[in-house]
Each structure stands twice: as structure tokens, then as C-alpha cells.
Structure 1
């Protein structure tokens, strides 16, 4: 069902505010009102509308001053200015500064409807799907990110999603895909930090039968599997140097060559990338190619940490609980207000993913239908109060894994690299990253 558009109406004339508000509600809009510019800004902090309709002449902060604040803080939010003192000078000043439209009081009903609909055609998605349904938020900060995502979705450009681990970059990439013209085609995801270099190359570009050991049949690869659609390269900062070169070549030529094949295949895929690493620093350190960075980072969409959107914590906690209840039988029906307050006041280094894990744990341990504050406090204080981020957990795994492989091979780097499925150069980089010396694992009893 198509949702009703939300309009924030701003005027210091309370009688006109009420009258115009009733007219807009009768047209099917959800209307919020404010009697001054500062009051309008307070409303915007609580909830972002689809459109602001403001009087020009107001005491204190006038309509253009309000627009300047909105333009700086809420990118893409259209503003229509009304005035009883209409003049060519006012109209030119307003429209040149970026105001969407200019209406003169008394407001003509048809002009009002036409201008509002034109503004909403820019502010709202052209197609009313649930493209952002999985991105749960009531935070103005996150709503601003969603507005940017909606605006770039129709543009066939590469987007780099950045932000700490666990902030929902994959969900945002899915939303961009669903809001764009490629939404009826595949959305594919590749985690660039989860596979060995050879497997990554095969997953990206495909292979023909017999291309390497274990290739028993042809494999199209994700570029070809995503034809016409979108490919998300998650954790792009972990892509090995050789594959950075091959990826850049594929993007420049719009062609891929499967492993073991002698023929190039044309591709038509939109590329989205995501990383929790600082790629600028990685470039400076020679770990990431500058030309590839600028190819992928045509538009940068930065996702906020959960601590920057605390008003979303109770909303997300209830959403995760509802999701758990749909998946499995549970007696748990909700949170005590004190429990939600504890969640809202906690530190979340693991961001949204950590909050999800905490809710999962609370449901598993709950002995009553309502999750109480004692259970939440117990979970939050476990492990010294710190839940590892994804990168921290992966680093711990790598360290333990490398220690085990080196012990098995008694410090023989060639054998250890072969067991790990890495070449010697990559394996030495892993050892250096974790401060491990292969020589310390050699059998000291040998002469």
C-alpha cells in the first residue's frame, strides 16, 4: 500500500496554520505543524518529512534562513516558500538559493497541489516499493543517509559504502539495488575477505572445467551471474593486489575472462563496494590501488555507527525480537521499559550486529515472556563489557589459525602457506600482521 507523504507546515499565523493544515490533511497528506523556524528544526530532529512548506516572513528566523539550515543539515529535502508579500525579487531570491517552489498568499488550491506534487516527485521514490523496509530507523541521521541512497539509486554509478563493522552496509546496498532500475535483476554479494585468492578470482570471473584443481565443471562467476543487476563487493579493502588489477581491467573494459578460457565476455553490472577499512590510508601504504579506489568511489555513502543513532536502538531491538519470534517458537513477547533503557544507554562497538546478537542471546536465556533489565545487564556486562567487532573476531581467528599451522609444519613457511591455501608472499604478510616469527616454531632440538 502506498504510504502517505509527510509535510511539515511552518507559519507564525496560527489560524492560517490550522486552516492550511486541514486542507492538506483532506488531500491525504500527513501534516506536522510548527509556529516558528526554531520549532520546525526541533520537529526535523525528531522525524524527517518528505517536504517542508514554510512562510517567508516570520519573526526571528524567516523562511529563507530556515531553508539555509535545512539545506545544510538535511540534504535533498525540498522546501516550498509561501508569502503574503509576493514579489518578483522574493521569488528570484528564493528559487536561486535552491528553494523548490514559491507560492503567494492567498494560496491558490490548484497551484498548491501542483507544486506539492512536483516537489514530492523529487522527494519520494518514483516507484512505491518497500525498497528501504529492511533499514529500520527513526533517526534523522540515518534518514539522511537513506535520502542520499534514494537519490543515487537511479544513477548507474559505482558507490562505496563505508562505516564501522556491523552498521548495515549490506542492507543499504540491497536497498540501493531495490530502489534502482536494476531491481528486477540479480543482486549478488561477494565477501572479498572470506576466500583464498584463487577462489576469489574464480568466484568473480568464473572458470571453465579443468581450469585448476577441483574445477569439475564450468562456473559462470558472479559478474556473469549478476548480468543486468548489481554486484556488491563486500570488504573490498581485503581484495589481494593481483585481483585489484584484474578487477580494474574488468571495470574499464566491461569484460571478464573466466579462468582457463581464451575468450572475453561482455558484462553489464552495477558495482557497489563496502568496507570498514580506511582505504585512503591503505592507498598511502600501498595496500590498495589508487586508480581502483577512484573507480569504485564515484559516490561515497558513509553509514553512521549505532551510537550516532541511539533513538533507533529500541526500534531495532523490537524488530529483531519480532524476527526471532517469526523464525522460532518462543514465549518471549517483549522488553521491559527498563531493559530497553539499558540497551539504549549501552556502548555498541559491534554496532547493529552486536545489538542483534544481544537480543538473540536474551531470547535464548529468558525465563519469562518479558525480558527484564537484570538479564540485559548480565549480558551486557559479560566478557568485561566488550563484545568483539567482526574485524577483532577475525583477527583472533587468524592468529590462532596461523599458530596452529606453524606448529603443524614446525615453522616451514612453504608447507604452512600450502596448507593455508596462500602463496608465500601473502602468508608472510599475515605473519607480519600478527607479529609471528616462523623461526620460533622450528624444532630447537635439531642440531
Structure 2
């Protein structure tokens, strides 16, 4: 079926044979696809980031790096992007091996035109929707503000994963947005109408965490004055986010593993287990493989949780999102504080874009909130951003301006020290009086103003600020 212009899937076609490249392009374009071409693997990898295709169609025989090596690189960068290989008879064994490694399919040359179109349609049906399409429904991820290509890839994978019931492990530094992504996956899943429940495994004392997760019955312990449903039961039919799973105590890891295996929870003090239907998303900023090696995290639990891994980039790795996020937060916070703020000054926005952001998106939000709370002008100035970032205010001067400012301050200090005596000040400066008077005149300084003023006199303050 031809595609409408608004929903044209993008295909990257790779072949070093110019005639074959033209033929493939014309045939696919006639079927309603948007085509980008490349004559080598290197050119294809460059186009990959620019064109954002939904499918790669490549010949196996390419100059330099071949189609199989191109597939390996595509799989590393974009695991959800399907690849179809075109192969001559001599490379069929290689293509078969590639299919076992994850290539969507291969077609032998000369290929059948209808079979090619059928395979392309099948591959596109299984691939993630184009995240950049302005016509695609984006409500599931509306809370995630981004124009970053890296985030687009991550969201495409997240959208694919959401359709399944597979456990997902979200990795990323603190403040990078793991809970936002977990909520987005839940909203894109068949469980969207059911509860989403989040628990921070590192924020609840070990003695209370078991009861919080699995619940307890009345009388199970001293303070158990009534029955209490745990978070697993609260999330029944929906999604449970186990945030900072790397901080969960070993003893509780064993009980969690049992729940995941049996799909049932037994509240503390209860004799019977209760069946639960919960999709698990876990998140951590820790290196779980390192924790396993140190005996701090169970290997069997790791593989239960880590069916699909999604790695969130740091804010520094998606700097193109900083102005977008900063303005988004500013407009949200301006409404909260009842302020009329229109944006950031160019210098302030430049400072935000260049900051290191160890605290990621959460830190950016806090910086914008502080600047918003203190701003008295429609445009947030650089000074407020610097203050919120806790960076010293640096005024960039030309060399001539810096030298003049230093020279004037130096002369003021000499006149203060010598109580306005030009003779004494000139001697300390190791300059003759005539030259010293010329310097004073250049900077508009009158020695008489410093007589009897001492170090704290008002005229001195005025002179230094002038």
C-alpha cells in the first residue's frame, strides 16, 4: 500500500553500485517511502545520524567496511533499527549467519521486486515508530522534553518495549530522568489504565521495606495495628517501579526473586500468598555487574530484572536539550510563582548550555527554579544563573581594559596608603613625580581627595567604582 506523504517511513539504502542504488531508490520511492542513499558503510553511518531512518537496506559487498560490519555498527548504535541485506550467491553463507545475529532478513540478487517490498513492509511494521514524526501520537512521552537524537533512539526503544510485558532495567546517573521514562513506558503499555506505583528502595529503612513492598497482616509486628496492602498489590494489573534497586538489602533480594518467580506475594505475618500481576521496571545509578562481583547483588535477580536494558544519557551528553528544557521549566515555574518571565538572556542561556551538570535534569530544574524565584526582570540575567550554578561571576575584559582597571586600582591603593602624598606614592611606585602626576591625570584621580580619608573613606570607594 502506498504511504501518504505525512507518514512516509524513511529508508537508508546502501550500495556502491550507482545503477543499483538508483534502481532501488526509484522503486522504493514509487511505493511511498522517503529514501536516503549512501555508497559505502562509512557514508551510511554518517547518514544514520542525519536522516534518522526506520530501516536500513544494504548490499553485503561494499568497499572498505562491508555490509555485515555496517550491520554490527548499526546494531551497537541503534539496537531497534531493522537491517535488510542484499547478497549475491557467493555471500549467502555470510548473510545466513548475519540473520542468526539479528539481521531482519536477506534477499539474493537478482531480487524479486514484490518480495523486496513485502520484506520492507514487514520490517517497518515490526520496527519502532519514527520518534521524530510530528504526526505520531506523543502523549505517552509528553513529560519528556527533548530534541536530542540520542533521546529519540532511546524513546523509540522504550516505545517498542512498552508493548511487551518484559521486565526493564533503566540505567542512568541520578537526576537523568529514570522515573519519567518508567512512567512513559507504563503509559505506552497495555497496562496504561492500571496503576503505576514507584518505590525508592534506598530511601526506606530495611526493617520497613519488606512490609512496604509485600504488605503485612494485623499483629505481624508491634506497630501492625491493621492489615496493610503492599505496593505489589497496589500495583496489581499495572506497573511497579523499583527505583534504586541497587540499594536493596540482600535478604530482601531473595524475597523479591521469589515474588517474581511465583508471581505472588505473601504479606509479613500471613500464612497464604496472594497472586499479583505486575510489570516490573527497575532503575539504578549503580553498576550492578560490579555489585554482583562484590557479592552485593544477586546474579539470579539481576537476570530476572534485566530482560531489556535502557541506558539514559546524562544531560551533558544531550546538550542540545538544555535550552529547550530550561525554557520549558521557566514557563512552568513562572506560572507557579505568578511571574511574567519571557526567557533567559543570551549570556544566561550560554552559561546554562556550557555548565557541567553533575546533577543532570534535576539540577537544571533546581537552577531554573532559583533563578525564576529571584528574577525581577522578564529576561533572567546571567548573574542569577551564575548564582544558582554557584559559579563565580566572571566579567570578560579586553587586555587593555583589564590593564587600565588594574592600574587605576593600584594608584588608588597607593594614594590611600600615603594619605594622598604624591611624593610618597611615586616613590613606592618607583616612578618620578612628573610621570606619576600624568598617570593620576589619565585616571582622573585627585590626590587631595585622599588626604585624611584612611583606608575606609567614601571618596576612595567612589574612586574605585568609577
In the superposition, the TM-score normalised over structure 2's length comes to 0.67
Deviation, structure 1 residue 256: 1.6
Equivalent of residue 352 in structure 2, options 328, 332, 343: 343
Higher-Rg member (1/2): 2
- Per mean C-alpha deviation after superposition, the further-off stretch among 221-230 and 119-128 is 119-128
Equivalent of residue 126 in structure 2, options 122, 125, 129: 122
- Per mean C-alpha deviation after superposition, the further-off stretch among 4-13 and 313-322 is 4-13
For residue 158 of structure 2, what is the aligned residue in structure 1?
Answer: 149
For residue 243 of structure 2, what is the aligned residue in structure 1?
Answer: 234
Which SS does the other structure have where 1:268 is aligned?
coil
Work out the CA distance in 1 between the residues paired with 2:370 and 2:20. Answer: 53
Deviation, structure 1 residue 77: 1.3
Task: Tell me whether 1:268 sits opposite 2:261 in the alignment.
Answer: no
Work out the CA distance in 1 between the residues paired with 2:305 and 2:383. Answer: 46
Point out where structure 2 has 5 or more consecutive residues left out of the alignment: 1-5, 131-135, 395-466
Work out the CA distance in 1 between the residues paired with 2:247 and 2:78. Answer: 33
For residue 404 of structure 1, what is the aligned residue in structure 2?
Answer: none
Which SS does the other structure have where 2:53 is aligned?
coil
For residue 43 of structure 2, what is the aligned residue in structure 1?
Answer: 39
Work out the CA distance in 2 between the residues paired with 1:367 and 1:24. Answer: 57
The structure-2 alpha-carbon separation of the partners of 1:320 and 1:91, relative to structure 1 and needing over 3 Å to count, comes to farther
For residue 53 of structure 2, what is the aligned residue in structure 1?
Answer: 49
Which SS does the other structure have where 1:165 is aligned?
coil
Contact 2:169–2:305, Cα closer than 8 Å, also in 1: yes
The structure-2 alpha-carbon separation of the partners of 1:334 and 1:129, relative to structure 1 and needing over 3 Å to count, comes to closer
Work out the CA distance in 1 between the residues paired with 2:17 and 2:339. Answer: 53
Show the 5 A alignment for 1:293-332: 293-324=302-333, 329-332=338-341
Work out the CA distance in 2 between the residues paired with 1:14 and 1:339. Answer: 49
Task: Tell me whether 1:369 sits opposite 2:378 in the alignment.
Answer: yes
- Tell me how many residue pairs correspond in the alignment: 381
Work out the CA distance in 2 between the residues paired with 1:334 and 1:182. Answer: 38
Deviation, structure 1 residue 164: 1.6
Deviation, structure 1 residue 172: 2.3
Work out the CA distance in 2 between the residues paired with 1:309 and 1:36. Answer: 28
Residue by residue over 1:382-430, the C-alpha shift from the partner in whole angstroms, topping out at 9 and shown as x without a partner, is: 4999xxxxxxxxxxxxxxxxxxxxxxxxxxxxxxxxxxxxxxxxxxxxx
Residue by residue over 1:29-55, the C-alpha shift from the partner in whole angstroms, topping out at 9 and shown as x without a partner, is: 555555654333223234633222446
Contact 1:44–1:140, Cα closer than 8 Å, also in 2: no
Work out the CA distance in 2 between the residues paired with 1:294 and 1:101. Answer: 29
Work out the CA distance in 1 between the residues paired with 2:75 and 2:387. Answer: 44
In the superposition, the TM-score normalised over structure 1's length comes to 0.69
For residue 244 of structure 1, what is the aligned residue in structure 2?
Answer: 253
Work out the CA distance in 2 between the residues paired with 1:6 and 1:320. Answer: 33
Equivalent of residue 172 in structure 2, options 154, 163, 171: 163
Show the 5 A alignment for 1:160-199: 160-199=169-208
Work out the CA distance in 2 between the residues paired with 1:226 and 1:4. Answer: 39
Work out the CA distance in 1 between the residues paired with 2:162 and 2:208. Answer: 30
The structure-2 alpha-carbon separation of the partners of 1:231 and 1:3, relative to structure 1 and needing over 3 Å to count, comes to farther
The structure-2 alpha-carbon separation of the partners of 1:384 and 1:330, relative to structure 1 and needing over 3 Å to count, comes to closer
Deviation, structure 1 residue 70: 1.9
RMSD across aligned positions (CA) = 4.0
The structure-2 alpha-carbon separation of the partners of 1:306 and 1:200, relative to structure 1 and needing over 3 Å to count, comes to same
Which SS does the other structure have where 1:8 is aligned?
strand
Higher RCO (C-alpha under 8 Å, 6+ residues apart): 1
